[in-house]
Amino acid sequence: MMRRATAWLGLLGVAMIALSTSRMEASEDVKETIRWKTDYRVAMRSAREQQKMLFVLFSDPANANVAEAYLENSLAEELTPELREKYVWLRLDTDAAIEVDGERTVLLNHAAFADMQGREGVAIIDLENTEAKYYGYVVSQFPFRPGTYYGRHKTRVILNLPPGTLTQRTMTFAVRIHPESPQSTLGEQSEVLLAEAESQSRYQAQIGVQGHHSWDSRFHRINARLPGGLRSQEVVAESWPGKNLVDACIDCVDSWRYSSGHWGAVRRRQPLFGYDIKRGRNGIWYATGIFGNRGG
């Protein structure tokens, strides 16, 4: 189930943010490139009114070295004028809090940000796609964990992900950062295929078994909804148990790499694509990619 972000709380005017801003200073170059907001409520309102994505950088107030390095070495280097205007930019301390029903809650402890694991990092809230089911939800979460570095390439991928839910966008991220540069996400993202990938991922997670369940019937149903005589093709995978969302998605792409049939589909440029992933009660994530092509 998607968790409505504190973005939702902000839209209703319920959330108030308690911030410390004096300790968060970026380099002069970054300041010139990005106009950072430091008030959650103000940033939410601005993103909503402008129908933009809200980019949130969480920074440790006790030691901002990691966030500063990310700003200077990754984010500032990848910003084009178009990307700078696509987002509203918000920088918060990791201990920033909201007040809901009279109770103070640290933002990173809210269920909407569970995949941040309480850490510094990047989160994105969709306030651009007003008619989408994920409007007002957190649609990207990339915690800065030991051993995980979001350099220029990964940052470029994050900033240019297509619209979708948190799990859909994270699967696309994992495909796009693979070192062999698979091409399947360079075509058109299909709402039909996203919905089918979501459904199949959820079914695998519910039964705790990876597979192309009922593909014979699903194949014909999907084909009937694809344009121009395109035919559907599916890949599935599962993660190792206990992985966080980002690592689970990377696990699944790696598993496809070691299957020639699956990798052939993930690697080639697909006219239409849709990816998703869901976690089962067993702690395993189940991924699905479905493509529309002429040789499926």
Give the pLDDT confidence score for residue 101 in this predicted structure. Answer: 78
The structural domains of the chain, ordered by start, are 6-156 (3.40.30), 184-293 (3.40.33.10)
Cβ-count burial of 132 within 10 angstroms (0-12 exposed, 13-18 middle, 19+ buried)?
middle
Using CA atoms, how far residue 255 sits from 18, 239, 250, in Å, is 43, 8, 9
pLDDT of 160 reads: 97
Q: What is the mean pLDDT of each run of 10 residues along the chain (296 residues)?
A: 45 34 40 82 95 97 92 92 95 90 89 95 98 97 93 97 98 98 97 98 98 96 95 97 97 96 96 98 97 83
Q: Which of 246, 8, 245, 241 is nearest to 110 (CA)?
A: 8
Provide CB contacts within 8 A for 173, sequence distance 6+: 140, 154, 157, 158, 161, 246, 249
Burial 143-165 (b: 16+ CB within 10 A, else e): bbeeeeebeeebbbbbbebebbb
Q: Tokens 């089962």 appear where? A: 280
Look at residue 12 and give its three-state secondary structure: coil
Question: pTM for this one?
Answer: 0.89
Half-sphere exposure of 44 (CA within 13 A, CB side): 22
- Check residue 32 and give its pLDDT: 54
User: What pLDDT sits at residue 25?
Assistant: 42
User: Are 249 and 158 contacting, i.e. CB atoms less than 8 angstroms apart?
Assistant: no
So what's the pLDDT on residue 64?
86
Strands 272-279 and 188-189: parallel
Q: Which of 143, 151, 145 is nearest to 113 (CA)?
A: 143
Cα-trace Rg, the chain: 19
Contacts 24+ apart (CB under 8 A), 22-29: 23/61, 23/64, 23/93, 24/59, 24/61, 24/64, 24/67, 24/91, 24/93, 26/68, 26/71, 26/72, 26/91, 27/68, 27/71, 27/72, 27/76, 29/72, 29/76
